[in-house]
Amino acid sequence: MNVLVINAGSSSLKYQLMNPETGDVAAKGLCERIGIDGRLTHKTSDKKVEMEIAMPTHGEAIQAVMDALLSEEHGVIKSVSEIDAVGHRVLHGGMKFSESCLINDEVLATIEECTPLGPLHIPANLLGIRACQDKMPGTPNVAVFDTAFHMTMPPKAYRYAIPTKYFEEDDVRRYGFHGTSHKYVALRTAELVGKKEFKMVNCHLGNGSSMAAILNGKCQDTTMGLTPLAGVPMGTRCGDIDGGVIQFLCNKYGYSVDECLNILNKKSGVLGISGVSSDFRDLEDGAKKGDEACQLALDKFAYEVAKYVGAYAAALNGIDVLTFTAGVGENGISNRAAICEYLGYLGIKIDPERNNVRGKEALISTDDSKVQVWVVPTNEELMIARDTAELVK
């Protein structure tokens, strides 16, 4: 079986053609500058091509993807019928979707209703879906929501302590994101530790970061909220912040709320503190050269992640497994060490030798650690492909 996994943004579209059983990727690539001019990067196991192709809309982008997949020189299939289904990453499923869903007109309309919750992403996700329906009539499409995994949270975790009216009438609550990644890591960790019933905290630490408290594979709490701004500090997002700061900055500088939110989303986080970069490698280089602001950004990040591990250990009344995933979680050896340094009171002990690993599955805790600590590289595309295959079977 072949599933085409699509992640459509407003001006870009990532794709992978993969086997959902084995996870083998036949081809993958990226359309960029959609609506501007258009560029396609397409990779197979042995070839990489880059082409300028006019992409006024997502329709031409999908056409370019299909042409690349079918090409004589760098293609991997002979006919469109070899694509059994398309799985789409959709940012927000609101209260409407607690699992992945085969797309029909009704589902499309319901996704559209979620637009106020993801005003930048959902329209782009819909463009990707409609372009596939248009260019591949007859091929089933599946929506996989970034929020769905978190829909098992209890009300005490997802409700905000604001007047009930905003929840009941406007759906304002914690949703959480990176759900596809948290779900993949939760399932994979269950295989690695060889059991289904355990308490785990997953740290998805990348450019955007979120954490999830997971009991027996089901999400109990997560750090992001109505939007991805909440939780731990990220590359450029501030994470949790006193709402009063927004009022203060707007009053002091005459910013609109949108301008202020732009600062909190794009200019804050470790970039904001360091003044140097949102990339953790740059911060480490800076800190090594004695840049105190870079060191503070790294310290702040590790401190806040560790605080949430403590909070989630309380929420779960204990913790059996701690997992690290995504760019920083998989590669940041010193970031992991700095986080775990705070967690000795939970009986967490990592082995420096075992922790000296990047980008692969590894148990990094000592044999006598009370909590197993694992690096588990995420694979959101495989999760999307599996959900898609499951639904079209």
Residue 379 interacts with ligand ADP (CB under 6 A): yes or no: no
Name the residue nearer to ligand ADP (CB basis): 140 or 179. Answer: 179
Name the residue nearer to ligand ADP (CB basis): 78 or 358. Answer: 358
CB of 331 to ligand ADP, least distance (A): 3
From 2, 180, 331, 372, residue interacting with ligand ADP (rule: CB under 6 A): 331
Residue 177 interacts with ligand ADP (CB under 6 A): yes or no: no
| DSSP 8-state code for residue 229 | T
Convert residues 81-120 into a mask of x (bound to ligand ADP by CB under 6 A) and - (unbound).
Answer: ----------------------------------------
Name the residue nearer to ligand ADP (CB basis): 67 or 279. Answer: 279
Cβ atoms of 152 and 216 within 8 Å: the answer is no
From 94, 225, 233, 327, residue interacting with ligand ADP (rule: CB under 6 A): 327
Q: Residue 125: which of 87, 182, 173 has the closest Cα? A: 87
Cβ atoms of 11 and 33 within 8 Å: the answer is yes
Q: Residue 225: which of 145, 117, 300 has the closest Cα? A: 117
Convert residues 220-249 into a mask of x (bound to ligand ADP by CB under 6 A) and - (unbound).
Answer: ---------------x--------------
- Bridge partners, 372 (sequence order): 321
Name the residue nearer to ligand ADP (CB basis): 281 or 370. Answer: 281
CB of 75 to ligand ADP, least distance (A): 28
From 326, 350, 383, 392, residue interacting with ligand ADP (rule: CB under 6 A): 326
Separation CA 122–CA 126 (nearest Å): 6
Name the residue nearer to ligand ADP (CB basis): 240 or 282. Answer: 282
From 38, 128, 332, 377, residue interacting with ligand ADP (rule: CB under 6 A): 332
What are the start-end ranges of the H helices in 50-152?
58-70, 105-113, 121-135
CB of 134 to ligand ADP, least distance (A): 28
- Which residues have C-beta within 8 Å of that of residue 46, sequence separation ≥ 6? none
Contacts 24+ apart (CB under 8 A), 213-219: 213/312, 213/315, 213/316, 214/182, 214/186, 215/316, 217/186, 217/187, 217/190, 218/152, 219/149, 219/150, 219/151, 219/152, 219/153, 219/176, 219/179, 219/182
Pairing of strands 48-52, 39-44: antiparallel
Q: Which of 146, 170, 240, 291 is catalytic?
A: 146
Q: Residue 90: which of 112, 64, 105 has the closest Cα? A: 112
Pairing of strands 141-145, 218-222: unpaired
Q: In this structure, what are the phi and psi dihedrals at residue 5, rounded to the nearest 5 degrees?
A: -100, 125
Site for ligand ADP in 279-318 (CB under 6 A): 279-281
Residue 206 interacts with ligand ADP (CB under 6 A): yes or no: yes
The question of whether 146 is a catalytic residue gets the answer yes
Name the residue nearer to ligand ADP (CB basis): 9 or 93. Answer: 9
CB of 252 to ligand ADP, least distance (A): 30
- What amino acid positions are annotated as catalytic residues? 146
Q: Where on the chain is the footprint of ligand ADP (CB under 6 A)? A: 206-208, 235, 279-281, 326-328, 331-332, 358
